[in-house]
Amino acid sequence: MLTKRPRGTSDILPGEVEKWQFIEKTMQDICREYNFKEIRTPIFEHTELFVRGVGEDTDVVDKEMYTFMDRGERSITLRPEGTAPVVRAYLENQMHTGPQPVKLYYTGPMFRYDRPQAGRYRQFHQLGVEVFGSQHPGVDAEVMAMAMNFFHRLGLKKMDLHINSVGCPRCRPRIRETLQNFFRPRLDELCPNCRGRFERNPLRIIDCKNDTCREVGKDAPTTLDCLCSECRKHFNEVCDYLQLLNVPYNVDNKLVRGLDYYTHTAFEIMAPDIGAQSSVGGGGRYNGLVEACGGPSLPGIGYALGIERIILAMEKQGVQVSSPPGPDVFVAVLDPQVKTKAFEILFGLRAKGIAVDQDYQNRSLKAQMKYASKTGARYTLFVGGDELQRGSAILREMATGNQEEVPLEKATEHIKQRLGE
């Protein structure tokens, strides 16, 4: 073998891929019900989009981006997340000039140069939604309800929704000052990263995973203590809507998201039983991002769910996805002279929507039968010289071994009828 796949990536094989298809299909169904339309943006963007959109001070931009110069000397980055690209596409394609809100969803690979471990990869996949152009607190509740509804539809019962408000530019100076006052006397106990964050973005200290920083920050004032009256009102209304929709939630006043664009509502959805990387999804409002990306001042809110972590949660919570069905029919040839005719029959059946396969390795009849049952075929159609002369072939049901001679001109109808039984 020439080389192995890069660290932190995976091959999704048959047997596993059905879980992905089930997850993606469930998301498509939910999005249709909530009236979200799909958008597909490039896998790579100009680096500047993420630096300005996600924020220079975040781990994602600072340490985790796959950035390179292309042959035209442009700095290009493999997308580490989907929100900034969707904002760019929303603006670039003038979607902000039409009726609002605009409700979009996307799915696809994202790239972060992080230390791989269970539930954390360098290429991972997200399902995401974004809503532009509405401040309405009902929209915040709707997107959270939608995500919880999606998990429920997958069969995941143990999922916890944590919500917080991280304030707006009006309450940020107060949040910043209150946190700086709290951390200042214990600054030298913080990790070097957090000491850097103290001036630039003290809110991020609350989110640090370092044990000492956590201990120091245990009794830190929270964003909820410092909200302006408008943010508080918005947050209370979001909670009211969630109650109205019967969506259980926990207010987690320590919840600070790892990306800088959030304002007002921030939330995460945890699967309690999948280990250290328990956050299966997260999102929130970003009322300043459209403007930061060069557009008008328009609000936005969204979330993204990690497919790999959804699969871990499904495995932990015993959600089964049925394995792929084999072909409906396996065409076996009884003698080599009828091979061409068998090929014709096979293509004739496929053209009528029947799933058919055959042997391409010149196997003996016995080996063809063994292979047919390995493929999981429901029926085998034996094509032989004698039967062909009578214009027919033998159809065998694999599960029972029952056989019948079927006229070839009626074979399609006959097989379809049997398959429907």
- Minimum CB distance to ligand HAM smaller for 183 or for 303: 303
CB of 54 to ligand HAM, least distance (A): 8
Nearer Cβ to ligand HAM (38/189)? 38
Write down the least CB distance from residue 304 to ligand HAM, Å: 4
Comparing CB distances to ligand HAM, the nearer of 316 and 363 is: 316
- β-bridge partners, 250: 162
CB 356 within 8 A of CB 349: yes
Helical residues (DSSP H) of 93-228, grouped into ranges: 137-154, 172-183, 192-200, 211-217, 223-226
C-alpha distances in angstroms, 245 versus 231, 248, 375?
21, 9, 46
Using CA atoms, how far apart are residues 382 and 398, in angstroms rounded to an integer? 12
Smallest gap, in angstroms, from Cβ of residue 202 to ligand HAM? 20
Shortest CB 399 distance to ligand HAM, Å: 41
CA distances from 410 to 345, 349, 356, 407, 415 (A): 12, 11, 16, 6, 9
CB 404 → ligand HAM: shortest distance, Å? 52
Residue nearest to ligand HAM (CB): 306
In the complex with ligand HAM, the residue whose CB is nearer, 217 or 306, is 306
- CB nearer to ligand HAM: give 117 or 323: 117
Beta pairing partners, 102: 132
Nearest distance from C-beta of residue 164 to ligand HAM, angstroms: 14
Min CB(281)–ligand HAM separation in Å: 5
Closest CA relative to residue 134, chosen from 282, 290, 277, 6: 290
Q: Give the C-alpha distances (Å, rounded to integers) separating 172 from 285, 287, 371.
A: 15, 13, 67
Cα–Cα distance between 279 and 159 in angstroms, integer? 10
Contact 302, 326 (CB under 8 A): no
* CB closer to ligand HAM out of 278 and 412: 278
- Taking the least distance from each CB to ligand HAM, the nearer of 24 and 114 is 114
* Cα–Cα distance, 49 to 128 (Å, whole number): 18
Return the closest-CA partner of residue 9 out of 81, 116, 106.
116
CB of 195 to ligand HAM, least distance (A): 24
Query: Where does this chain bind ligand HAM (CB under 6 A)?
Result: 81-83, 112, 114, 120-121, 124, 126, 128, 130, 258-259, 279-284, 302-306, 308-309
- The total of other beta-carbon atoms located within 10 Å of residue 405's CB is 11
β-pairing, 403-407 vs 392-397, is antiparallel
Query: Which CB, 63 or 390, lies closer to ligand HAM?
Result: 63
